[in-house]
Amino acid sequence: MSHARKIGLRRQFATCAAFSGLAALIIFCFHQPPYLASLLAGLPLYYQAAIGLGVGCLYWAATQIGYRYAANANTTKSTVESYGRLDLSGRNPIWISLAAGFGEELLFRGALQPLAGIWLTSAIFVIAHTRAYRFNGLNMRVLTQACGVFAVSMGLGLIAMYVGLVAAIIIHASVDTVGLYMVKGEIRKLQPQS
């Protein structure tokens, strides 16, 4: 693991603020009022929260099982390396996940998807994650991860469309929290014991 300076919370929150600001601009310029009502559309909020948390728990269980079989896969190693650049100390995985879940879902599902549709929005979502996942060429690892990010985006898009944006935000934050804590655990295993 590299000893380069970690990407901190300030940068993560700045990205969330930029995404949220861009989302607000798009919503105010291209969506019809009432803005808040359209963002909160869908199932009642308590159903959205329950579905979001339920899917998050299912993802945690699937991750625990899947990781046993994919721990040494190139995509897994690459994901750990990519997200290992973040400052995952303390409760940072939770804060990073909440920021990403809110900012990205507000922009991609709340602002862009109603205008561009689910397919184009998911393609833009993949492009937005190019740097995070180090999509730096066309090989099997990049293709596998890009398809995975696209599929996750499609799933979040469908959740936002049929359940509601709040559920998509909770699912996104839950998935990221689980993933970042797994990365944090892997980094801890790689560090020399003192």
Q: Enumerate the β-bridge partners of residue 192.
A: none
Mean pLDDT for 19-27 is 97
Report pLDDT digits (tens) over 145-191: 899 999 999 999 999 999 999 999 999 999 999 999 999 988 888 77
* Higher per-residue confidence, 101 vs 139: 101
Say what the pLDDT of residue 3 is: 56
Mean pLDDT for 25-38 is 95
> 176 near 99, Cβ under 8 Å?
no
Query: Can you give the pTM of this predicted structure?
Result: 0.92
Residue of 125, 118, 106 lying closest to 35 (CA atoms): 106
Q: What is the CA radius of gyration of the chain?
A: 17
Look-up: residue for tokens 């979001």?
Answer: 52
Between CA 115 and CA 98 the distance in angstroms is: 25
How far apart, in Å, are the Cα atoms of 174 and each of 95, 102, 170? 11, 11, 6
> 101 near 172, Cβ under 8 Å?
yes
Mean pLDDT for 44-54 is 97
Between CA 149 and CA 168 the distance in angstroms is: 15
Say what the pLDDT of residue 67 is: 76
Say what the pLDDT of residue 194 is: 58
Confidence check: pLDDT of 2 > 80: no
Between CA 104 and CA 117 the distance in angstroms is: 16
